[in-house]
């Protein structure tokens, strides 16, 4: 998020929250946390202004904070909790695995069974290997691509988030004033402390501009081992690929000998059972998975072509004490079994369609220029009149109006993602009652945005 717009968003949010006494215990705990934890949180993405809200319990679509406030959760572990909080699907599987007494560092029949189940649901992949976090999976995929191609550098989509690894934490929510020309985005560090050489070596390409992206790949093909792509750009809200974009990347990478890697951490088992590669009919060489894979438990995966996966058994290597952690694998077996027939994926899509209709009707009624984007349970509300087709159009949306909207939603018991270029989500536990709370809150919140004027 551009710095100036972020500060404006935070000032509006702070003005709202400081007027509310119902978060007194969170404010108190925040002061205590700051003595032992930088920012008072264990992930910078959870930072909020003037302080984060601290929670104590979750069940289904609902969460309760320290002050006893009950909220509909539309953050859901950045979309990982596809079944909601305390889902029996996941809880019973983890309890069963705990009773078996095995945890880490050993192979079991379960690890083979879950691999086979995964490949049944993702037939575009030949083999799979499990890791822990999405960032680790990205690092493994890059190592495989390098080993196979003999090249060292990577390309990524502008603003896409693929974890905090130096090579990929590049031009993630960049300041538009520094981002360069739209057809040739600059390579900017996503945070301090990154290796400047690594950041500078990463090629940044535009989303939904196939001609410009292909030109950049052609000009840099000799050094590129891989191109990393979110098939739907979700970490800036929800922006689907335009017809022909993913196909153009597939054709170019085939022709240029570059490994095409789909980041399916947010799209996998949500926008389709087999992720973006199933929904859009474009087969990557490698793909990474997580979040919904184990219903929010700690598990990621790298999957893909047999010859590329073979690199992880040879020159690339693939190690990790917690790879294939038994509790997470048990949760994955239960999650994949529940998601496998596609009915829950359709339920998520139906929920998003309902919210989109309610949001659009309310925005028209109160005269607010806003757009609801969503799919697979993910969604974002952009306060802008222009089409949102890439990061730059998303970043030009009105941060102040989103902050007003989010604050009004919280007043009505709905927790949304903090950033105006972030993304929120629903789960299969968000039944008609929760969806109605969200939709009614949206209608009222849009009225407040309209009352604020320009």
Res. 443: pLDDT tops 90: yes
Res. 2: pLDDT tops 80: no
Res. 11: pLDDT tops 70: no
pLDDT tens-place string over residues 324-334? 999 999 999 99
Cα-based distances in Å from 48 to 24, 141, 210, 255:
15, 33, 36, 45
Q: Measured between alpha carbons, how far is 257 from 280 in angstroms, rounded to an integer?
A: 22
When pLDDT is averaged across residues 365-387 and rounded to a whole number, the result is 97
Of the ranges 16-25, 204-213, 364-373, 423-432, which one carries the lowest mean pLDDT score? 16-25
Res. 13: pLDDT tops 50: no
Average model confidence (pLDDT) across the chain: 94
Res. 17: pLDDT tops 70: no
Res. 447: pLDDT tops 80: yes
pLDDT tens-place string over residues 173-188? 999 999 999 999 999 9
Res. 19: pLDDT tops 80: no
Task: Let me know: does 301 contact 129? Beta carbons within 8 Å.
Answer: yes
In this prediction, residue 453 carries a pLDDT of 79
For residues 16 and 415, the model is more confident at: 415
When pLDDT is averaged across residues 238-242 and rounded to a whole number, the result is 98
In this prediction, residue 48 carries a pLDDT of 84
SS3 track for the chain: CCHHHHHHHHHHHHHHHCCCHHHHHHHHHHHHHCCCCHHHCCCHHHCCCCCCCCEEEEEECEEEECCCCEEEECCHHHHCCCCCECCHHHHHHHHHHHHHCCCCCCCCHHHHHHHHHHHHHCCCCCEEEEECCHHHHHHHHHHHHHHHHCCCEEEEECCCCCCCCCCCCECCCCCHHHCEECCEECCCECCCCCCHHHHHHCEEECCCCHHHHHHHHHHHHHHEEEEEECCCECCCCCECCCCCHHHHHHHHHHHHCCEEEEECCCCECCCECCHHHHHHCCCCCEEEECHHHHCCCCCEEEEECHHHHHHHHCCCCCCCCCCCCHHHHHHHHHHHHHHCCCHHHHHHHHHHHHHHHHHHHHHHHHCCCCEEEEECCEEEEECCCCCCCCHHHHHCCCHHHHHHHHHHHHHCCEECCCCCCCCEECCCCCCHHHHHHHHHHHHHHHHHHHHHCC
Cα-based distances in Å from 449 to 13, 136, 434, 440, 441:
13, 41, 22, 14, 12
pLDDT tens-place string over residues 189-203? 999 999 999 999 999
In this prediction, residue 357 carries a pLDDT of 98
When pLDDT is averaged across residues 411-430 and rounded to a whole number, the result is 96
Residue 44 CB partners (closer than 8 Å, separation 6+) = none
pLDDT tier at 47, thresholds 50, 70, 90: confident
Res. 18: pLDDT tops 50: no
Res. 112: pLDDT tops 70: yes
Of the ranges 75-84, 101-110, 281-290, which one carries the lowest mean pLDDT score? 101-110
Where exactly are the structural domains of the chain?
3-86+343-452, 89-339
CATH class of 3-86+343-452: alpha beta
In this prediction, residue 20 carries a pLDDT of 53
- Give me the CATH code for the 89-339 domain, please: 3.40.640.10
In this prediction, residue 14 carries a pLDDT of 52
Tokens 């950049």 map to which residue? 216
User: What is the biggest distance separating any 2 CA atoms in the chain, rounded to whole angstroms?
Assistant: 62
């Amino acid at each position: 998020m551009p710095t100036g717009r972020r500060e404006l968003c935070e000032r509006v949010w702070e003005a709202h929250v400081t007027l509310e006494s119902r978060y007194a215990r969170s404010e108190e705990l925040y002061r205590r946390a700051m003595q032992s934890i930088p920012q008072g949180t264990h992930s910078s993405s959870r930072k909020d202004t003037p302080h984060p809200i601290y929670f104590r319990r979750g069940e289904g679509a609902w969460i309760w904070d320290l002050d006893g406030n009950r909220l509909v959760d539309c953050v859901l572990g950045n979309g990982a909790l596809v079944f909601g909080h305390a889902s029996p699907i996941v809880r019973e599987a983890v309890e069963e695995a705990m009773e078996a007494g095995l945890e880490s560092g050993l192979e079991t029949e379960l690890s083979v069974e879950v691999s086979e189940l995964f490949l049944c649901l993702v037939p575009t992949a030949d083999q799979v290997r499990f890791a822990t976090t999405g960032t680790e999976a990205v690092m493994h995929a890059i190592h495989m691509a390098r080993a196979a191609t003999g090249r060292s550098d990577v390309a990524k989509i502008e603003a896409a988030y693929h974890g905090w690894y130096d090579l990929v934490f590049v031009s993630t929510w960049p300041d538009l004033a520094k981002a360069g020309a739209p057809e040739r985005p600059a390579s900017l560090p996503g945070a301090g402390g990154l290796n400047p050489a690594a950041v500078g070596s990463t090629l940044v390409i535009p989303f939904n501009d196939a001609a410009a992206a292909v030109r950049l790949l052609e000009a840099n093909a000799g050094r590129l081992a891989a191109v990393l792509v979110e098939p739907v750009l979700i970490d800036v809200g929800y922006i689907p690929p335009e017809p022909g974009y993913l196909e153009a990347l597939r054709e170019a990478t085939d022709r240029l000998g570059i490994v095409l890697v789909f980041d399916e951490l947010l799209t996998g088992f949500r926008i389709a059972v087999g992720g973006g590669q199933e929904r859009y009919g474009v087969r990557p060489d490698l793909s990474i998975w997580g979040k919904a894979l184990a219903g929010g438990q700690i598990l990621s995966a790298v999957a893909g072509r047999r010859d590329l996966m073979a690199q992880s058994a040879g020159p690339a290597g693939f190690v990790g004490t917690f790879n294939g952690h038994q509790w997470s694998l048990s949760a994955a077996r239960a999650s994949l079994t529940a998601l496998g027939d596609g009915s829950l994926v359709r339920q998520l899509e139906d929920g998003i369609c309902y919210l989109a209709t309610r949001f659009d009707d309310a925005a028209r009624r109160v005269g607010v220029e806003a757009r609801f984007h969503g799919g697979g349970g993910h969604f974002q509300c952009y306060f802008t009149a222009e089409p949102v087709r890439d990061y730059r159009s998303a970043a030009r949306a009105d941060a102040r109006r989103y902050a007003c909207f989010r604050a009004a939603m919280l007043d009505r018991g709905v927790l949304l993602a903090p950033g105006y270029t972030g993304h929120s989500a629903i789960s299969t536990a968000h039944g008609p009652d929760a969806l109605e709370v969200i939709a009614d809150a949206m209608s009222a919140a849009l009225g407040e945005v309209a009352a604020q004027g320009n």
